[in-house]
Structure 1
Amino acid sequence: MSKKKILFVCLGNICRSPSAEAVMTAKLKELDLSEHYMVDSAGITDYHEGGAADHRMQQHAAQRNYKLTSISRPFKTPNDFANFDYIIGMDDQNMSDLRAMATNDEQLSKLHKMTDYSSRFTYNEVPDPYYGGAEGFELVLDLLEDACDGLIKKLEDE
């Protein structure tokens, strides 16, 4: 059985998408499903390419036992469309940018929004915590934990 490949995408790949990658990786490991999935993250932009996740996001994630180890990279067209089964954007602007990069219906069909998998929260986006305070980073983690649970359930039900 081939692995399902998931790519989480936000603007700069230093807060939300590396956190989604870490949360998803931890949850898959906890459920003994890691061997069935490959998880990565990327940014719409290359502003932070080669850099680690935002130190504030790392601190908040560490308090929940998540390790943000990924290195920022931009979304690569057409490679990422070819290499991933699910490309999951964090907000409406990410989704709009990803749709603009897609060149066919197959690529468009791989695009999903993170909050579509939420069950406990009614947010329609994972807000960017970069310019906010601690509560923004905590909210991002709450939303990602909820949405990752829903995403795993959907994928395992397929």
Structure 2
Amino acid sequence: MKKRVLFVCLGNICRSPSAEAVFNGLVKQNGLSDLIECDSAGTAAYHEGEPADQRMQSHAIRRGYRLNSIARKFDPAVDFEKFDYIVGMDDDNVNDLQDMASGIEDLNKIFKMTDFCSHGGHYSVPDPYYGGSEGFELVLDILEDACEGLLNEVRG
């Protein structure tokens, strides 16, 4: 049975679509596309229907990632049922997801992205939206580390 992973940030235009692209790259590289699929969503609908932030796309492309997803809002009625891992980018995202959970089964699917980091030092994936280039690069650095750990977790 396929494992399904959902990455969640606030607006679904920077961090979560980047996590989706980085994770998809690892899944493909490891020949696991038939076993693992992923998606991304936002806790808010600010950018629903929009592509990823152009600045985030530019930084990701330089590392070989394509951010193809279109922003959507997290749907608790569907997403808790569909996904095995629901991964928030920061404490606010995790808290919002926990507030939407309808029970222990939903709560047990919620994780924080940086819990999967092996290099330490980061307690969240910071939102780069209002910052400069270094913020977008930091997001990708953290995600590359965390996605490796997450893939190991999902693989079992």
TM-score (norm 1): 0.97
Question: What is aligned with 2:68?
Answer: 69
- Structure 1 vs Structure 2 CA RMSD: 0.6
* Structure 1 position 92, deviation (Å): 0.3
Corresponding position of 1:60: 59
Say if 2:47 is the partner of 1:48. yes
Confirm or deny: 8 A CA contact 1:121 1:146 kept in the other structure.
Answer: no
The alpha carbon displacement at 1:34 in A equals: 1.2
User: SS of the residue aligned with 1:35?
Assistant: coil
Distance 1:33 1:83 in 2: 19
Aligned counterpart, 2:87: 88
Aligned partner of 2:35 in structure 1 is 36
* Matches of 1:9 and 1:155, distance apart in 2: 17
Q: CA deviation at 1:153?
A: 1.1
Note the residue ranges of structure 1 that are not aligned, 5 or more in a row.
none
SS of equivalent to 1:9? strand
Q: Which residue of 2 aligns with 1:142?
A: 141
1:121 and 2:146 equivalent? no
- CA distance in structure 2 between the aligned counterparts of 1:123 and 1:129, rounded to whole angstroms: 14
Shift of 1:78: 1.3
Q: Which amino acid aligns with 1:123?
A: H
| SS of equivalent residue, structure 1 residue 27 | helix
User: Does residue 97 in structure 1 map to residue 96 in structure 2?
Assistant: yes
One-letter code aligned to 1:47: Y
Alpha-carbon distance between aligned partners in 2 of 1:79 and 1:153, rounded to the nearest angstrom: 26
Residue 120 of structure 1, CA deviation: 1.2
Query: Alpha-carbon deviation of 1:121?
Result: 3.1
Match for residue 20 of structure 2? 21
Mapped to 1, the partners of 2:9 and 2:143 lie a distance apart of 13
SS at match of 2:87: strand
**SS at 1:141's partner residue?**
helix
Task: Return the alpha-carbon distance in structure 1 between the equivalents of residues 56 and 109 of structure 2.
Answer: 27
CA distance in 1, matches of 2:15, 2:78: 22
* Number of residue pairs matched by the alignment: 156
Residues of 2 paired with 1:29 and 1:19: CA distance?
15
Give the fraction of aligned pairs with identical amino acids, expressed as a percent. Answer: 58
CA distance in 1, matches of 2:135, 2:52: 15
Mapped contact 1:87–1:111 kept (Cα < 8 A): yes
Q: Spell out structure 1 runs of 4+ moving beyond 2 A.
A: none
Counterpart Cα distance in 1 of 2:73 and 2:129: 17
